[in-house]
Structure 1
Amino acid sequence: MSALSVPAPDGPIDAVLETPGDATPPPWPGVVVVHDALGVGRDIRDITSRVAAHGYLTLTPDLYSRGGRARCVVRVFRELFARQGRAVDDLLAARDLLAARPDCTGRVGVIGFCMGGGFALVLAPKDFAASAPFYGQLPRSIDDALRGACPVVGSYGRRDPMLWNAGPRLDAALTRLDVEHDVVTYPGVGHSFANRIAVGKGNTLLRIAGMGYDQEKSEDAWRRVFAFFDAHLSSGSE
């Protein structure tokens, strides 16, 4: 995994890049991974490596580059809800950087988690080839926000108190809009079921929010995401 700088309209931001390695020769399809509210920590780096190992040129930009999480998190969430602003511009710049690289096919997908899952939905109509929101916040005026979206593969937990009924609502909206999609709401799990976030005895807030990793549901979600992305990010896809 290598560190690099992404040139964005408001100045460069930090990012990490992972290549698929020698098993698959380039060019590769690209994937932008959008981190959760915790930032680019070990879990997101492990996810970046996992996506690359499946055969994708994977770029994870740090949306907190301009001041750190404490200073940036409120602004980034505000821009998520507004569906515009520096964070959106930064992610589009990350997509453009990947697409322009000679070792990329030019087709780029986006995968996001929690806050990043919300961005994955916001970005779905913005020239990505496929979008994979993991328990992403649904945009306001959902039909208008997702009109013209790329294919979407979404994964939600039924026991997620922060996103109650979000999966079925997203599925219904994408059906109305005639957007190809695969949205599953997994029973028995809550928020962040695909993130390895330490939820200790003292971390009461995370436990109340229903956060917790679930290997079985996580592996099934990744199986679906990779099958969906393989179908939509191959060089022959239209």
Structure 2
Amino acid sequence: MFSEKSNFNLQKPVQDAADSKISCSLLNVEGGIDDEACELVSGVELSLVEDVFGFEDSFTRDIAYRVACNGYNEIASKQICSILVPDLFRGCPWTKDQPDVFEQWIARQNPERIAEDITRWTKWLVDEFMAVGISKKLGIIGFCFGGGQVLKVLAKDQGACFGTGISFCGTRMDPLAASDIKAPVLFILGDNDPLCKVSEIENVQKKIRRGSKVVIFPGRGHGFAHRPDLLNKPTLL
């Protein structure tokens, strides 16, 4: 087990047009679900599971571009990278102007339906890579609500498709799912996060295979990594 204290400085990505190319498009995955796919000549295929504000949120899209531009460019340059940001909430994400009805909104997000959608877009990712002769280079990243979904996805997958996962400030995690996970997971959170407690994440990490890691940012609250506008506000899930 690893546990680290870290400082955090997120900078604007710099894109060299001569070395790589980004394209972004809205696609329809089987079942009538619109998702955003971002491709970069970079070298990995990822699914990015958004927080409760949905796949069209500007911060979600910004993170997708940042990961595409910087996160994997050094790892596997000159190959094809696809980042899929699914519409997890079927066009009805939560909005900041309705804080009093969050629990009612979250109760309408059927876990079985979400699991079916995730299975559908995972198949799309696999098919995309298999079409170009590449297999088992899939990763999954989730933020807040999506960070909790990372555990469920990896537990169900059991190492069949996804080789790794990253959970930022994951909420509503199922600790029982951890023992079924076959891929290493990187957990990133702040030690001042009331919705993603360090002790709970460390307990989850202990149940996962060797190679998983917990990185803790001192003084940071919920959503610090991707939502500076709502920094440390506990209403963000």
Q: Which has the higher contact order (CA 8 A, sep 6+)?
A: 2
> Which of 111, 120, 145 is the matching residue for 2:177?
145
The letter for the 1-side match of 2:47 is V
Higher helix fraction: Structure 1 or Structure 2? Answer: 1
Q: Provide the C-alpha distance between the structure 1 equivalents of 2:229 and 2:84, rounded to a whole number of angstroms.
A: 24
- Deviation of 1:178 after TM superposition, in Å, equals 3.4
Q: Provide the C-alpha distance between the structure 2 equivalents of 1:147 and 1:161, rounded to a whole number of angstroms.
A: 24
Residue in 2 that maps onto 1:87: 114
Unmatched runs of 5 consecutive residues or more in structure 1: 80-84, 200-205, 212-238
Whether the 8 Å CA contact 2:149–2:173 is kept in 1: the answer is: no
SS at match of 2:108: helix
Q: Percent identity?
A: 28
Q: Deviations over 1:115-148 (max 9, x none)?
A: 00000111122132111010102533x1x31123
Q: Provide the C-alpha distance between the structure 1 equivalents of 2:217 and 2:209, rounded to a whole number of angstroms.
A: 23
Describe how 1:127-142 pairs up with structure 2 within 5 A: 127=160, 128-137=162-171, 139-140=173-174, 142=175
Q: Does the C-alpha gap of structure 1 residues 90 and 187 become closer, same or farther in structure 2, counting only changes over 3 Å?
A: same
The letter for the 2-side match of 1:60 is V
> Which of 113, 124, 128 is the matching residue for 2:154?
124
TM-score, length of structure 2 as denominator length: 0.70
Single out whichever of 86-95 and 114-123 deviates more from structure 2. 86-95
Q: Deviations over 1:141-185 (max 9, x none)?
A: x1x3112311101101100112233xx433333324434201112
- Deviation of 1:195 after TM superposition, in Å, equals 1.2
Aligned residues: 186
Q: Provide the C-alpha distance between the structure 2 equivalents of 1:174 and 1:187, rounded to a whole number of angstroms.
A: 19
Whether the 8 Å CA contact 1:160–1:210 is kept in 2: the answer is: no
> Which of 52, 67, 71 is the matching residue for 2:68?
52
SS at match of 2:67: helix
Q: Does the C-alpha gap of structure 1 residues 148 and 179 become closer, same or farther in structure 2, counting only changes over 3 Å?
A: farther
Superposed structure 1 runs of 4+ greater than 4 Å apart: 70-73
Residue in 2 that maps onto 1:105: 134
Q: 2:200 matched to 1:169?
A: yes
> Which of 217, 220, 224 is the matching residue for 1:189?
220
SS at match of 1:69: coil
Residue in 2 that maps onto 1:69: 93
Single out whichever of 87-96 and 51-60 deviates more from structure 2. 51-60
Q: Provide the C-alpha distance between the structure 1 equivalents of 2:152 and 2:133, rounded to a whole number of angstroms.
A: 23
Whether the 8 Å CA contact 2:190–2:220 is kept in 1: the answer is: yes
Single out whichever of 130-139 and 170-179 deviates more from structure 2. 170-179
SS at match of 2:192: coil
Q: Does the C-alpha gap of structure 1 residues 160 and 207 become closer, same or farther in structure 2, counting only changes over 3 Å?
A: closer
SS at match of 1:19: strand
TM-score, length of structure 1 as denominator length: 0.69
